[in-house]
C-alpha cells in the first residue's frame, strides 16, 4: 500500500433512485451518455477514476485547480443537456472535492480524503459543487470563480467538523451568480390571544375586496405581437464534427419571442464582416457569413463553439435580441449533438467580440503524405488516448463519410471532423478545434482511412517530440538534430546516451531500420544509448 496526498473528486446523481423507479431503461441510457461526458472531462483534466458504483464516480487529480475546473466544466455541460428534459426528469450531479491523505491499494484509494469528498458531495446543491477549505485556499486566487463560505459542517463518520465552501455556478445567460446561503429560522408561534384578531382582520379584508371586484370593471390589455424569425446560416445539414466525437445535427431555424420593433440602426453594423478569419467552421458557413450575414444592416449576431456548431440571427429588434437568438440557436444545435462545449458570441453586428482569438496552429502544410510511413487507420493503434476514446474512433470515425480527419494534442486531447468538403478542410478544422481545447498546436494523425504520420509500434508513444527543447539531448546538439529532421520524410528515430549525445536514423523505409540506425549512430559518440523519439513522438518502453 502507498500513502499520498491527492485532490479527491466525488460525484453522485441527485434523486437517482426516483429516476430509476419512474423509467429505468431511459435513466440507464442517459446515465451511460452522461458518464461518457464526465469520464472525458476527467481524462482531459489529467484525473483518474479509481472507483465507480452505480451512479457514483470517485476520481483523483494531481491538483485542486484541475479538479475544480473539471467539476465546473462537467456541471456546465450537463446543465445544457438537462435543458432538453422537464425538471422532473433532469439528471443532475452533486460534486464534492477535497485535498486529503489517502492510501492506494490495487488502484483503489481509501482513507479520510475519500470519505470527506463523499460527504461534501452530499452537502452540494443539485447541479452544484462543494469544496473543503483546503481546496478553497488552493483555488481561490487561480480560478475566476466565486465561493460562498458555509462554515464548519458536521458530517457523518468524520470526527471533526469540515469547513466547506459552495462554488458559484453559471446562470442561464452565461454569467456567474454568487452563491446565496439561506439560513432557515424557525418562526415563533403566535400567541393564542392573537388568533381571534387575525380572523377578524382577514374577514374585513375579504369583504372589502369582494365589494371592489363587484363594482369595478376590470380590463386587461395585450400588447401587439411581432413574430421575428432568424434565418439559419445553413439550409442543409452541416458536415459532421466531434470533440471526443459527437455528430453534427441538421440545421434548424431559430425563432425569438415576439418583441416590439424599433427603428433599425445601421451604426453598429458598419464595415465588412471578416469571414475569412472565423475558426472551426466549414466553407458553407463561411460563405454565408461573407455574403448574407455581412450584407445585412440590421441588428444581428453570430455565435459558435469549438466543435464547429454555429448560430446566426438577423432582422432582430435590438442588439440583446440578436445576441440571445444567435446563442440559443447555436446551443440547441450543440446540445442536440451532445457536444460538451458551450457556445459563445463571436460577433455582434459586423464587430468581432470573441475574446479567445485564433487557436494555436502548426506550420503548414498541415499534412504531408509519405508512402513509406502511411498505413491503414486502426483505432486500436491511435496514440496517447484511452480505450473509451479508441472505441469512439472505431464507432464514429471509421464508418463516417469522407472527408474526415483527426487531430491529436500533446496531452492526449483529440478532435475529429467528418463529412467535410475536402481533406484539407477536415484537417484545418480538426487542428483549430483541437488547438483551442489543448491550448497548444496539435498534429493531424489520420486523414480518411490512413494514418498520415509514422505511428511507432516497437515502443510506447509518450508524447510529442520537439528536438529544440528536448532536455534529453545536450543543448549544443539540438540545433543540428532539428536541421537534420527538418525534411521529416520516411522513418526517423533519435537515440541518446548518458551524456545526452544524439544518434539519428533518418529517412528509413521502416521503423526497425530507423531504430537500429539511431542506436548505432549514438554508440559512436556516447554510451548506454536508448531511443527517445520515433517520428513525431517521444517513446518509452512498452509496459
Instruction: Describe the crossing of helices 64-82 and 24-44 by its angle, rounded to 10 degrees.
Output: 150
The rounded distance, in Å, linking the Cα atoms of 283 and 238 is 10
CA distances from 381 to 126, 226, 270, 389, 454 (A): 40, 57, 51, 11, 11
**pLDDT (tens digit, 9 = 90+) per residue, 95-133?**
999 998 889 887 889 888 899 999 999 999 999 999 999
| Burial tier of 364 (Cβ tally within 10 Å: 0-12, 13-18, 19+) | exposed
SS3 211: helix
Q: How far is CA 520 from the centre of its chain?
A: 45
**pLDDT (tens digit, 9 = 90+) per residue, 144-166?**
788 888 888 888 778 888 999 99
Q: Please determine, for residue 476, whether its predicted confidence score (pLDDT) is greater than 70.
A: yes
Q: 105-114 contacts: CB < 8 A, separation 24 or more?
A: 105/1, 107/50, 108/50, 108/51, 109/6, 109/8, 109/50, 109/51, 109/58, 109/60, 112/158, 113/5, 113/6, 113/8, 114/8, 114/10, 114/58
CA distances from 21 to 25, 27, 130 (A): 10, 9, 27
- Tell me which residue has cell 554508440: 523
The rounded distance, in Å, linking the Cα atoms of 12 and 118 is 9
What is the per-residue pLDDT for 169? 77
Q: Pick from 284, 283, 287: which is nearest to 273 by CA?
A: 287
Q: Please determine, for residue 39, whether its predicted confidence score (pLDDT) is greater than 70.
A: yes
The domain at 2-167 falls in which architecture? 2-Layer Sandwich (3.30)
**pLDDT (tens digit, 9 = 90+) per residue, 323-357?**
999 999 999 888 877 777 889 999 999 999 999 88
| Average pLDDT rounded to a whole number, residues 394-418 | 91
CATH 3.30.70.1230 domain residues, the chain? 2-167
What is the per-residue pLDDT for 232? 32
**pLDDT (tens digit, 9 = 90+) per residue, 223-239?**
322 222 233 333 333 33
What's the pLDDT band for 542 if we cut at 50, 70, 90? confident
348 and 322 in contact (C-beta within 8 Å)?
yes
Backbone phi, psi, residue 531, to 5°: -75, 135
| Average pLDDT rounded to a whole number, residues 476-496 | 93
Q: Which of 152-161, 191-200, 257-266, 439-448 has the lowest mean pLDDT?
A: 257-266
SS3 209: helix
Percentage of the residues of the chain whose pLDDT score is greater than 90? 50
For residues 234 and 208, the model is more confident at: 208
User: Per the structure block, which three cell numbers stand in for 361?
Assistant: 496552429
334 and 303 in contact (C-beta within 8 Å)?
no
Residue 504: which residues within 8 A CB-CB, separation 6 or more? 481, 484, 485, 492, 493, 494, 495, 517, 518, 521
CA distances from 461 to 54, 419, 531 (A): 34, 29, 11
Q: What is the pTM of this model?
A: 0.54
What is the per-residue pLDDT for 182? 40
For residues 443 and 29, the model is more confident at: 443
Mean pLDDT of the chain, nearest integer: 81
Residues pairing with 451 in the sheet: 375, 446
Q: Please determine, for residue 37, whether its predicted confidence score (pLDDT) is greater than 60.
A: yes
Q: How far is CA 540 from the centre of its chain?
A: 29
Percentage of the residues of the chain whose pLDDT score is greater than 70? 81
Amino acid at each position: 500500500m502507498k500513502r499520498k496526498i491527492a485532490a479527491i473528486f466525488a460525484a453522485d446523481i441527485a434523486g437517482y433512485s426516483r429516476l430509476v423507479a419512474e423509467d429505468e431503461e431511459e435513466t440507464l441510457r442517459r446515465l451511460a451518455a452522461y458518464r461518457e461526458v464526465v469520464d472525458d472531462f476527467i481524462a482531459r483534466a489529467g484525473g483518474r477514476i479509481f472507483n465507480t458504483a452505480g451512479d457514483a464516480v470517485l476520481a483523483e487529480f494531481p491538483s485542486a485547480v484541475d479538479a475544480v475546473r473539471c467539476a465546473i466544466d462537467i456541471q456546465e455541460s450537463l446543465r445544457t443537456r438537462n435543458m432538453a428534459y422537464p425538471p422532473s426528469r433532469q439528471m443532475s450531479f452533486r460534486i464534492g472535492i477535497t485535498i486529503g491523505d489517502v492510501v492506494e491499494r490495487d488502484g483503489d484509494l481509501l482513507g479520510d480524503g475519500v470519505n470527506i469528498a463523499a460527504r461534501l458531495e452530499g452537502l452540494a446543491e443539485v447541479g452544484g459543487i462543494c469544496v473543503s477549505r483546503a481546496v478553497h485556499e488552493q483555488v481561490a486566487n487561480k480560478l475566476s470563480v466565486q465561493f460562498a463560505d458555509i462554515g464548519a459542517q458536521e458530517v457523518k463518520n468524520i470526527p471533526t467538523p469540515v469547513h466547506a465552501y459552495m462554488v458559484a455556478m453559471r446562470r442561464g445567460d452565461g454569467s456567474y451568480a454568487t452563491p446565496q446561503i439561506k439560513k432557515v429560522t424557525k418562526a415563533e408561534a403566535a400567541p393564542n390571544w392573537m388568533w381571534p384578531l387575525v380572523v377578524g382582520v382577514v374577514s374585513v379584508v375579504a369583504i372589502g375586496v369582494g365589494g371592489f371586484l363587484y363594482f369595478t370593471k376590470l380590463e386587461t390589455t395585450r400588447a401587439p405581437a411581432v413574430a421575428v424569425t432568424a434565418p439559419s446560416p445553413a439550409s442543409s445539414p452541416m458536415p459532421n464534427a466531434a470533440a471526443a466525437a459527437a455528430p453534427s445535427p441538421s440545421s434548424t431555424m431559430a425563432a425569438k419571442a415576439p418583441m416590439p420593433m424599433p427603428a433599425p440602426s445601421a451604426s453598429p453594423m458598419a464595415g465588412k464582416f471578416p469571414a475569412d478569419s472565423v475558426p472551426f467552421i466549414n466553407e458553407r458557413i463561411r460563405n454565408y457569413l461573407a455574403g448574407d450575414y455581412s450584407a445585412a444592416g440590421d441588428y444581428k449576431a453570430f455565435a459558435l463553439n469549438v466543435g464547429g456548431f454555429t448560430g446566426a440571427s438577423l432582422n432582430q429588434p435590438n442588439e440583446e435580441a440578436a445576441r440571445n437568438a444567435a446563442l440559443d440557436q447555436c446551443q440547441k444545435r450543440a446540445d442536440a449533438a451532445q457536444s460538451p462545449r458551450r457556445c459563445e458570441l463571436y460577433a455582434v453586428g459586423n464587430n468581432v467580440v470573441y475574446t479567445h482569438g485564433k487557436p494555436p496552429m502548426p506550420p503548414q502544410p498541415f499534412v504531408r503524405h509519405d508512402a513509406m510511413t502511411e498505413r491503414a487507420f486502426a483505432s486500436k493503434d491511435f496514440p496517447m488516448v484511452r480505450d473509451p476514446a479508441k472505441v469512439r474512433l472505431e464507432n464514429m470515425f471509421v464508418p463516417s463519410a469522407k472527408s474526415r480527419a483527426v487531430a491529436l494534442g500533446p496531452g492526449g486531447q483529440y478532435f475529429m471532423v467528418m463529412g467535410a468538403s475536402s481533406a484539407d478542410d477536415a484537417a484545418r478544422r480538426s487542428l483549430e478545434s483541437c488547438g483551442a481545447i489543448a491550448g497548444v498546436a496539435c498534429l493531424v494523425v489520420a486523414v480518411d482511412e490512413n494514418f498520415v504520420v509514422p505511428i511507432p509500434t516497437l515502443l510506447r508513444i509518450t508524447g510529442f517530440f520537439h528536438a529544440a527543447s528536448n532536455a534529453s539531448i545536450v543543448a549544443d546538439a539540438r540545433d543540428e538534430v532539428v536541421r537534420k529532421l527538418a525534411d521529416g520524410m520516411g522513418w526517423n528515430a533519435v537515440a541518446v546516451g548518458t551524456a545526452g549525445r544524439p544518434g539519428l536514423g533518418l529517412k528509413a523505409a521502416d521503423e526497425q531500420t530507423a531504430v537500429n540506425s539511431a542506436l548505432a549512430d549514438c554508440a559512436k559518440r556516447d554510451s548506454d544509448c536508448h531511443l527517445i523519439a520515433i517520428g513525431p513522438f517521444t517513446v518509452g518502453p512498452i509496459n
